[in-house]
């Protein structure tokens, strides 16, 4: 999606400048997500890990030591419905996750990482730790800048979530 090609809205100059910045930020968020997936893909290729894709690896990383249902992952806003169900099923088939029916709601399936899943999660965690070290040691980000960035992104997330819930 190239937001820069979107038609220019008719806004006062001050608002138009903000709109250009907003569209640049949206495009950057999208590029960063794709780039993160490419970084994971490259790491897996380097380590000859061929059975898991980057989205599935992030799913394992985000689940961590928790036991969750697909519904919980969707409600937390991490994943879309059909994608999470497909990826969880695939990860169970590949031996990265255990699954069992919930004792409370037999329709619900709970999943947790196997030892194989934990090993892959640890690979991703080490990669992220290496990135964090590189970002700080090269002076690209410091803790205060990262806190400000995270705070701003959370505010945008909250605004977008409110738009979905309250504006039709």
Give the domain CATH number at 112.
1.10.10.10
Residue 163: what pLDDT?
Answer: 87
Sheet holding 109-113, edge to edge: 68-69, 109-113, 97-101
* Predicted local distance difference test score (pLDDT) of residue 104: 74
Higher pLDDT: 25 or 8? It is 25
pTM for this model (two decimals): 0.82
pLDDT in tens, 87-108: 888 999 999 999 887 777 777 7
Tokens encoding 90? 């695939």
Residue 7 covered by a domain: no
Question: Is there a domain that residue 5 lies in?
Answer: no
Q: Which residue has the higher pLDDT, 104 or 8?
A: 104
Predicted pLDDT of residue 80: 64
Give per-residue pLDDT as tens, 35-56: 999 999 999 999 999 999 999 9
**45 inside domain:** yes
Read off φ and ψ for residue 112, nearest 5 degrees: -150, 160
Do the domain assignments include residue 112?
yes
Domain for residue 168, yes or no? Answer: no
Instruction: State which residues form the domain around 148.
Output: 15-161
pLDDT, residue 151, reads 97
What domain count does the chain have?
A: 1
Q: Is residue 125 part of a domain?
A: yes
**Any alpha helices (H) in the chain, and if so which ranges?**
13-46, 54-63, 70-75, 81-93, 115-137, 143-166
Check residues 138 and 14 and name the one with the higher pLDDT. Answer: 138
Closest of 163, 164, 153 to residue 29, by C-alpha = 153
Q: From CA 33, how far away is CA 37, in angstroms rounded?
A: 6
């Amino acid at each position: 999606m190239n937001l820069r090609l979107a038609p220019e809205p008719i806004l006062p100059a001050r608002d138009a400048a903000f709109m250009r910045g907003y569209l640049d930020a949206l495009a950057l968020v999208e590029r960063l997500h794709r780039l993160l997936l490419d970084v994971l893909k490259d790491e897996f290729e380097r380590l000859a890990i061929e059975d898991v894709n980057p989205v599935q690896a992030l799913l394992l990383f985000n689940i961590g030591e928790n036991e969750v249902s697909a519904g919980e992952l969707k409600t937390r806003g991490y994943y879309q419905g059909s994608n999470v169900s497909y990826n969880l099923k695939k990860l169970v088939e590949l031996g990265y996750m255990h699954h069992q029916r919930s004792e409370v709601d037999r329709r619900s399936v709970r999943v947790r990482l196997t030892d194989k899943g934990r090993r892959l999660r640890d690979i991703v965690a080490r990669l992220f730790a290496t990135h964090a070290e590189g970002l700080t040691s090269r002076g690209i980000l410091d803790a205060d800048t990262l806190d400000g960035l995270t705070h701003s992104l959370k505010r945008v997330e909250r605004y977008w979530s409110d738009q979905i819930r309250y504006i039709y």
